[in-house]
Amino acid sequence: MKVKRSELTEPAGSLSARVKSGDLPIEELEVISENVSIRLKIQPIGSDLKIDGTASARLREMCDRCLIPYEINVEPAFELMLTENDLPSDKTDDLDIYPFPSNQKEFNFGPVIRDALVLERAMKKVCKEDCKGLCPSCGINLNRGKCDCHQTEINERWSALKTIDFSNMEE
């Protein structure tokens, strides 16, 4: 997703765009919306450009508990700075700084948007907060039905206890 320098430095200071999901370098994610919508707020700071953006997309994920695919809308925010100057060696904050020399005609936001979407992924992906997951014994989806495994498991634990020899614990 390349944006021309002239569009970035326009006085309006904001920019909306729709990018075809297929044009973004995203292999890690299954983006199911045809487009990813981008909003950029651009603020010049000296010769640099500070950009606050959001990207919205619909993703297909797989639930970590029940292994069923589900769909979710995400709208990660991202922040970056484009600079004509050399990158500071003592970069202290989290702001991503990218070189944007004055002879460079456009800036490619593709990798920035990809990173924002990838970072937005939850560590634990669940189809719903109270997903019951799969039974570890028989594999039935516990959101959709019940099984008798739990009962059996308890019985097995008790029967295991019965085999422990308590006879020499009497002292």
DSSP string, 134-162: B-TTT--BTTT---SHHHHHHHHHHHHHH
Cβ 133 to Zn ion shortest distance, Å: 6
Nearer to Zn ion, 5 or 125 (CB): 125
Cβ 148 to Zn ion shortest distance, Å: 7
Parallel, antiparallel or unpaired: strands 30-31 and 48-62:
antiparallel
Cβ 70 to Zn ion shortest distance, Å: 7
Nearer to Zn ion, 65 or 114 (CB): 65
Nearer to Zn ion, 41 or 146 (CB): 146
Task: Reduce the secondary structure of 44-86 to three states and give it as a string.
Answer: EECCEEEEEEEEEEEEEEECCCCCCEEEEEECCEEEEEEECCC
Residue 131 half-sphere exposure toward CB, CA atoms < 13 A: 19
Nearer to Zn ion, 91 or 146 (CB): 146
Measure CA of the first residue to CA of the last residue in the chain; give whole Å.
78
Collapsing DSSP states into helix, strand and coil, what is residue 41? Answer: strand
Nearer to Zn ion, 43 or 137 (CB): 137
Cβ 120 to Zn ion shortest distance, Å: 19
Q: Can you give the binding site for Zn ion, defined by CB under 5 A?
A: 63, 65-66, 127, 131, 135, 137-138, 147, 149
d(CA 4, CA 125): 37
Cβ 10 to Zn ion shortest distance, Å: 45
